[in-house]
Amino acid sequence: MRRFILCTALLFAGGLLAGCGNKGPLVLPPGQSGSTVAPNASVPAPATSAPLPDGP
């Protein structure tokens, strides 16, 4: 009997936890059309090294 109550309580708790979270369809933020790359993505400038100082 004790095992039955424990299993029932665990199943009930699992059911409650499974019901947590956002409900409804997935909604993208405004301005997102589903593409992964932004149309105005800028390319970073190539890195340049500073000139080395003259030695002693």
The predicted model scores a pTM of: 0.36
Tokens found for residue 40: 């105005």
Closest to 38 measured CA to CA, from 25, 47, 49, 29? 29
Cα(56)–Cα(54) distance, integer angstroms: 7
Cα(41)–Cα(13) distance, integer angstroms: 46
What confidence tens digit (pLDDT) does each residue in 3-30 have?
Answer: 999 999 999 998 888 877 666 777 777 8
- Could you report how far apart the first and last alpha carbons of the chain are, in Å? 89
pLDDT at 1 over 80: yes
Tokens found for residue 41: 């993505």
Alpha helices for the chain (secondary structure H): 2-18
The mean pLDDT value of the chain amounts to: 76
Average of per-residue pLDDT across 25-51: 67
Look at residue 4 in the predicted model and tell me its pLDDT: 95
